[in-house]
Amino acid sequence: MNGPLHRVVIIGGGFAGLYAAKTLGRSRAGVTVVDKRNFHLFQPLLYQVATGGLSPGDIAAPLRAALRRQRNTEVVLGEVTDLDITNRRVLLSGGAALPYDSLILATGAQHSYFDHPEWEAKAPGLKTIEDATEIRRRILYAFEAAERSTSTAERQEWLTFLIIGAGPTGVELAGAIGEIANKTLREEFRRIRPEEAHIILLDATSRVLPGYPEDLSRKAERSLIRLGVRTRSGVRVTAINDTGVTIHAAHSEEHITARTIFWAAGVQASSLGRILANHTSVPLDRSGRVMVSPDLTIPGHPEIFVAGDLAHLEHDGKPVPGVAPAAMQMGRYAARAILARLDGSPAPAPFRYLDKGSLAVIGRAAAVADFGAVHISGYLAWLAWLFIHLMYIVGFQNRILVFIQWGFHYLTFHRGARLITGGK
Amino acid sequence: MNGPLHRVVIIGGGFAGLYAAKTLGRSRAGVTVVDKRNFHLFQPLLYQVATGGLSPGDIAAPLRAALRRQRNTEVVLGEVTDLDITNRRVLLSGGAALPYDSLILATGAQHSYFDHPEWEAKAPGLKTIEDATEIRRRILYAFEAAERSTSTAERQEWLTFLIIGAGPTGVELAGAIGEIANKTLREEFRRIRPEEAHIILLDATSRVLPGYPEDLSRKAERSLIRLGVRTRSGVRVTAINDTGVTIHAAHSEEHITARTIFWAAGVQASSLGRILANHTSVPLDRSGRVMVSPDLTIPGHPEIFVAGDLAHLEHDGKPVPGVAPAAMQMGRYAARAILARLDGSPAPAPFRYLDKGSLAVIGRAAAVADFGAVHISGYLAWLAWLFIHLMYIVGFQNRILVFIQWGFHYLTFHRGARLITGGK
pLDDT tens digits, A229-277: 999 999 999 999 999 999 998 888 999 999 999 999 988 999 999 999 9
* Beta-strand runs (E) in B174-223: 198-202
Residue A92, beta-bridge partner list:
A80
What is the C-alpha separation between A307 and B227, in angstroms, rounded? 43
CA distances from residue B57 to A197, A302, A326, B49 in whole angstroms, order as listed? 25, 47, 32, 9
What is the C-alpha separation between B240 and B123, in angstroms, rounded? 8
Using 50, 70 and 90 to split pLDDT, how confident is the model at A416? Answer: confident
The rounded Cα B98 to chain-centroid distance in angstroms is: 28
CB pairs under 8 A between A and B: 131
Q: Sort out which chain A residues have CB atoms less than 8 A from B190's CB and list them.
A: 74
Using 50, 70 and 90 to split pLDDT, how confident is the model at B3? Answer: low
The rounded Cα B254 to chain-centroid distance in angstroms is: 30
Q: Is pLDDT at A24 greater than 70 in this prediction?
A: yes
Partner A, chain B 140-169, Cβ-Cβ below 8 Å:
140-141, 144, 147-148, 150
Q: Do A68 and B404 touch (CB under 8 A)?
A: no
> For residues B99-114, b (16+ Cβ closer than 10 Å) or e, as one string?
ebbbbbbbbbbbbbbe
CA distances from residue A417 to A381, B65, B105 in whole angstroms, order as listed? 25, 11, 27
* Beta-strand runs (E) in B173-293: 198-202, 229-232, 236-241, 244-249, 252-257, 260-263, 267-269, 290-291
What is the C-alpha separation between A39 and A37, in angstroms, rounded? 6
Partner B, chain A 219-278, Cβ-Cβ below 8 Å:
none
Q: Do B129 and A419 touch (CB under 8 A)?
A: yes
CA-based nearest residue to B14, from B35, B30, B32, B31: B35
Look at the alpha carbons of B120, B126, B130, B133 in this order and tell me if their dihedral is positive or negative.
Answer: positive
Contact B246, B237 (CB under 8 A): yes
Residue B35, beta-bridge partner list:
B77
Per-residue pLDDT of A171-215, as tens digits, reads 999 999 999 999 999 889 999 999 999 999 999 999 999 999 999
pLDDT for res A226 = 94
Q: What is the mean pLDDT of residues B281-287?
A: 95
Q: Sort out which chain A residues have CB atoms less than 8 A from B34's CB and list them.
A: none
Q: Position A80: which residue type? A: V
Partner B, chain A 187-216, Cβ-Cβ below 8 Å:
187-191
Q: Is pLDDT at B69 greater than 70 in this prediction?
A: yes
Q: How many CB atoms lie within 10 A of CB A233?
A: 17
> From the CA of A108, how many Å to the nearest CA of chain B?
19
Decide if A79 touches B, using CB distance below 8 A: no
Find the residue in A nearest to B400 (Cα). Answer: A404
Decide if A62 touches B, using CB distance below 8 A: yes
Using 50, 70 and 90 to split pLDDT, how confident is the model at B423? Answer: low
Look at the alpha carbons of B314, B318, B322, B327 in this order and tell me if their dihedral is positive or negative.
Answer: negative
Catalytic pick among A118, A134, A157, A172: A172
Q: Sort out which chain B residues have CB atoms less than 8 A from A62's CB and list them.
A: 188, 418-419
Q: Is pLDDT at A114 greater than 90 in this prediction?
A: no
Q: How many CB atoms lie within 10 A of CB B4?
A: 7
Task: Name the burial class of residue B345, with classes exposed (0-12), middle (13-18) and buried (19+) by CB atoms within 10 angstroms of its CB.
Answer: exposed
For chain B, how long is the longest CA-to-CA vector?
Answer: 79
- Within 8 A by CB and 6+ apart from A304, the residues are A85, A102, A103, A105, A276, A280, A297, A298
In eight-state DSSP terms, residue A233 is -
Structural element, H or E, at residue A101: none
Q: Do A76 and B148 touch (CB under 8 A)?
A: yes
pLDDT for res A360 = 93
Partner A, chain B 9-38, Cβ-Cβ below 8 Å:
37-38
Select from A39, A62, A68 the Cβ nearest to the Cβ of B187.
A68
Q: Do A418 and B62 touch (CB under 8 A)?
A: yes
> From the CA of A238, how many Å to the nearest CA of chain B?
32
Q: Do A185 and B64 touch (CB under 8 A)?
A: yes
Partner A, chain B 293-352, Cβ-Cβ below 8 Å:
none
Select from A150, A188, A397 the Cβ nearest to the Cβ of B414.
A397
Select from A37, A148, A419 the Cβ nearest to the Cβ of B57.
A419
Mean pLDDT of chain B: 94
The three-state secondary structure class of B148 is helix
What is the C-alpha separation between A109 and A267, in angstroms, rounded? 6
Length reported for chain A: 424
What is the C-alpha separation between A288 and A171, in angstroms, rounded? 25
Select from B38, B130, B397 the Cβ nearest to the Cβ of A405.
B397
Find the residue in A nearest to B61 (Cα). Answer: A416
Q: Do A130 and B58 touch (CB under 8 A)?
A: no
| Helix ranges, A34-128 (H) | 46-50, 63-66
Contact A272, A106 (CB under 8 A): no
* Beta-strand runs (E) in B21-108: 30-35, 39-41, 60-62, 73-77, 80-84, 89-92, 97-99, 102-105
Q: Position A285: which residue type? A: D
What is the C-alpha separation between A279 and B289, in angstroms, rounded? 65
What is the C-alpha separation between A388 and B387, in angstroms, rounded? 35
Q: What is the mean pLDDT of residues B159-169?
A: 96
Q: β-pairing, B374-377 with B366-371?
A: antiparallel
Select from B148, B187, B421 the Cβ nearest to the Cβ of A56.
B421
Per-residue pLDDT of B356-392, as tens digits, reads 999 999 988 899 999 988 999 999 999 999 999 998 9
CA-based nearest residue to B55, from A79, A289, A54: A54
What is the C-alpha separation between B162 and A419, in angstroms, rounded? 30
pLDDT for res A424 = 45
Q: What is the mean pLDDT of residues B91-118?
A: 94
CA distances from residue B234 to B31, B199, B231, B246 in whole angstroms, order as listed? 47, 17, 10, 14
Q: Sort out which chain B residues have CB atoms less than 8 A from A404's CB and list them.
A: 397, 400-401, 404
> From the CA of B22, how many Å to the nearest CA of chain A?
15
Q: Do B140 and A398 touch (CB under 8 A)?
A: no
Q: Sort out which chain A residues have CB atoms less than 8 A from B398's CB and list them.
A: 416
Per-residue pLDDT of A119-178, as tens digits, reads 999 999 999 999 999 999 999 999 999 999 999 999 999 999 999 999 999 999 999 999
What is the C-alpha separation between B236 and B122, in angstroms, rounded? 17
3-state helix, strand, coil in chain A (%, to 5): 35, 25, 40
CA-based nearest residue to A290, from A35, A281, A82: A281
Find the residue in A nearest to B137 (Cα). Answer: A38
Q: What is the mean pLDDT of residues B298-326?
A: 96
CA distances from residue B83 to B105, B223, B273, B276, B308 in whole angstroms, order as listed? 11, 47, 11, 7, 19
Decide if A131 touches B, using CB distance below 8 A: no
* Beta-strand runs (E) in A3-108: 7-11, 30-35, 39-41, 60-62, 73-77, 80-84, 89-92, 97-99, 102-105
Domains of chain B: 7-111+267-343 (3.50.50.60), 117-265 (3.50.50.100)
Q: Sort out which chain A residues have CB atoms less than 8 A from B78's CB and list them.
A: 148
What is the C-alpha separation between B354 and B332, in angstroms, rounded? 13
In this structure, which long-range contacts are made by residues A402-408, counting pairs with CB atoms below 8 Å and at least 24 apart in sequence? A402/A45, A402/A54, A402/A58, A402/A59, A404/B397, A404/B400, A404/B401, A404/B404, A405/A53, A405/A54, A405/A58, A405/B397, A405/B401, A406/A53, A408/B397
Decide if B284 touches A, using CB distance below 8 A: no
Higher pLDDT, A24 or B111: A24
pLDDT for res A1 = 44
Q: Is pLDDT at B424 greater than 60 in this prediction?
A: no
Strand order in the sheet with A30-35: A73-77, A30-35, A7-11, A102-105, A301-306, A297-298
Catalytic pick among B134, B157, B172, B221: B172
Using 50, 70 and 90 to split pLDDT, how confident is the model at B2? Answer: low
Decide if B7 touches A, using CB distance below 8 A: no
Decide if B91 touches A, using CB distance below 8 A: no
Q: Sort out which chain B residues have CB atoms less than 8 A from A93's CB and list them.
A: none
ipTM comes to: 0.90
Decide if A94 touches B, using CB distance below 8 A: yes
Per-residue pLDDT of A47-106, as tens digits, reads 999 999 999 999 999 999 999 999 999 999 999 999 999 999 999 998 999 999 999 999
Active site residue B188: no
CA distances from residue A407 to A264, A410, A411, B83, B216 in whole angstroms, order as listed? 28, 5, 6, 45, 42
What is the C-alpha separation between B82 and A384, in angstroms, rounded? 55
pLDDT for res B396 = 82
Contact B231, B222 (CB under 8 A): no
End-to-end CA distance of chain A: 61
CA distances from residue A307 to A16, A107, A272, A316 in whole angstroms, order as listed? 6, 8, 12, 19
What is the C-alpha separation between A267 and A273, in angstroms, rounded? 14
Q: How many CB atoms lie within 10 A of CB A290?
A: 26
Q: Position A60: which residue type? A: A
Q: Is pLDDT at B1 greater than 50 in this prediction?
A: no
What is the C-alpha separation between A278 and A284, in angstroms, rounded? 10
The rounded Cα A63 to chain-centroid distance in angstroms is: 18
Helices and strands counted in chain B (H then E): 11, 27
Q: What is the mean pLDDT of residues B314-323?
A: 92
Most B CBs within 10 A among A46, A139, A149, A188, hence the mutation to make, goes to: A188
Q: β-pairing, A160-164 with A198-202?
A: parallel
What is the C-alpha separation between A378 and A401, in angstroms, rounded? 24
Q: Do B188 and A64 touch (CB under 8 A)?
A: yes
Contact A253, A232 (CB under 8 A): no
Contact B77, A148 (CB under 8 A): yes
pLDDT for res A216 = 96
Q: Sort out which chain A residues have CB atoms less than 8 A from B141's CB and list them.
A: 77
Most B CBs within 10 A among A36, A42, A55, A127, hence the mutation to make, goes to: A55
Q: Sort out which chain B residues have CB atoms less than 8 A from A129's CB and list them.
A: 419, 421
Q: Angle at the Cα of B287 (from B320 to B125), degrees rounded to 5?
A: 95
